[in-house]
């Protein structure tokens, strides 16, 4: 059965209404500055003149849309509103053999209110669609390159030689990447075409959830959050390779699921006492995450193959989960009471650049 995994941008109206309820008497969770770092970068004199082009041997050579980050990162009031990325984790695909269509598509994407990036995408969204399967399944991902440059894909859930499956997919070409996940976990996938840094920075990444054969316990809500950085290259342009490649990179935005502040603008509705499971991946490309949900404690964390359960080990628990780029975890918590719970990376300089969302518990 051929299946297209799609991201649903649903629930917008409901969360807008809930968001309206959050005004008045609310704690000060509005950590985020409306001013992106870009202005600071421009003021510091880092302009396109400093932007070295992508390596000559890369498929970027001869491409249009060079990064022109000469202080152009002013919000564009005519930019289309962003499309909210569904925060809910998808259900596991039924059956044990999965044929998944994953077209490679260039897309103009509003990544923060007033800021548009010419993103390179898997499936038309950033992050790409979350693929959820079980250990031992057969996964066949059918890629078609609908763009004018070469791309590729690397599934961390698989073990295979680079030159076997992570092959160049030329413009107009198709490729099927087949794997059988041997291990449970939350895994990154990304484009591996040089310069990989730019292909990830410009949107080519996503999450694979591999459940154990028996599946996971039922909970009330499951969410999938991918943290990543945007290095703006000018309105409507691709990301800036020079900014992303800096030894001390300073992203314009750090985001959960592609868009700055989207779940702060539209809080995610939950209920007091509900059990929450969060699949969280740090896609980088450069910065880590210290994932924290304000006002809660994680009683279960499964991070990179290591399991912590408070119930099983004497009552120890977790406040924040450290994820280096390409690391991921399953985090579980129970919403303690009615009210507002921000989720952030506890590197608070990045919270002001969009790495914040809110659970609103009724």
The residue ranges that bind Cu ion (CB under 5 A) are 151, 191, 193, 199, 204
Burial of 72 per CB tally in 10 Å (0-12, 13-18, 19+): middle
The least CB distance from residue 190 to Cu ion, in Å, is 8
Structure tokens at 210: 């591999």
Compare residues 204 and 226 and give the one whose CB is closer to Cu ion.
204
Compare residues 158 and 193 and give the one whose CB is closer to Cu ion.
193
Compare residues 85 and 151 and give the one whose CB is closer to Cu ion.
151
Q: Output the CA–CA distances (angstroms, integers) from residue 216 to 47, 146, 155, in the order listed.
A: 49, 36, 22
The least CB distance from residue 282 to Cu ion, in Å, is 19
Q: What are phi and psi of 29, to 5 degrees?
A: -105, 0
The least CB distance from residue 193 to Cu ion, in Å, is 4
Query: Do you know the residue count of the chain?
Result: 362
Instruction: State how far the Cα of 14 lies from the Cα of 240, in Å rounded to an integer.
Output: 35
Compare residues 231 and 263 and give the one whose CB is closer to Cu ion.
231
The least CB distance from residue 328 to Cu ion, in Å, is 20
Instruction: State how far the Cα of 282 lies from the Cα of 288, in Å rounded to an integer.
Output: 6
Q: What residue is closest to Cu ion based on CB? A: 191
Compare residues 125 and 193 and give the one whose CB is closer to Cu ion.
193
The least CB distance from residue 68 to Cu ion, in Å, is 20
Instruction: State how far the Cα of 342 lies from the Cα of 228, in Å rounded to an integer.
Output: 18
Residue 263, SS3 per DSSP: helix
């Amino acid at each position: 059965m051929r299946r297209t995994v799609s991201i649903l941008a649903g629930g917008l109206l409901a969360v807008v209404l809930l968001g309206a309820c959050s005004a008045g008497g609310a704690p000060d969770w509005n950590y985020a500055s409306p001013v992106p770092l870009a202005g600071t970068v421009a003021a510091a004199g880092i302009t396109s003149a400093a932007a070295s082009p992508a390596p000559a041997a890369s498929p970027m050579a001869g491409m249009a849309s060079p990064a022109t980050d000469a202080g152009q990162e002013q919000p564009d009031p005519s930019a289309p509103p962003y499309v909210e990325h569904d925060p809910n984790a998808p259900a596991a695909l039924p059956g044990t053999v999965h044929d998944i269509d994953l077209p490679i598509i260039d897309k103009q994407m509003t990544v923060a209110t007033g800021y548009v990036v010419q993103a390179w995408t898997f499936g038309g969204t950033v992050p790409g669609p979350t693929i959820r399967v079980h250990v031992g399944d057969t996964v066949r991902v059918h890629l078609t390159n609908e763009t004018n440059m070469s791309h590729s894909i690397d599934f961390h859930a698989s073990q295979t030689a680079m030159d076997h499956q992570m092959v160049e997919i030329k413009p107009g070409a198709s490729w099927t990447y087949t794997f059988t996940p041997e291990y449970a976990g939350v895994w990154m996938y990304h484009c591996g075409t040089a310069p990989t840094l730019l292909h990830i920075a410009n949107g080519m990444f996503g999450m694979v959830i591999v459940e154990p054969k028996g599946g996971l316990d039922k909970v009330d809500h499951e969410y999938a959050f991918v943290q990543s950085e945007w290095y703006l290259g000018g309105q409507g342009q691709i990301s800036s390779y020079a900014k992303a490649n800096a030894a001390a990179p300073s992203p314009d935005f750090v985001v959960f699921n592609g868009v700055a502040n989207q779940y702060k603008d539209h809080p995610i509705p939950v209920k007091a006492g509900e059990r929450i499971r969060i699949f969280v991946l740090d896609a980088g490309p450069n910065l880590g995450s210290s994932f924290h949900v304000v006002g809660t404690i994680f009683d279960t964390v499964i991070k990179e193959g290591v399991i912590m359960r408070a119930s099983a080990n004497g009552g120890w628990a977790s406040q924040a989960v450290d994820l280096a780029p390409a690391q991921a975890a399953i985090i579980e918590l129970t919403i303690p009471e009615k009210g507002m719970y921000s989720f952030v990376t506890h590197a608070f300089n990045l919270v002001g650049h969009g790495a914040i969302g809110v659970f609103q518990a009724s």
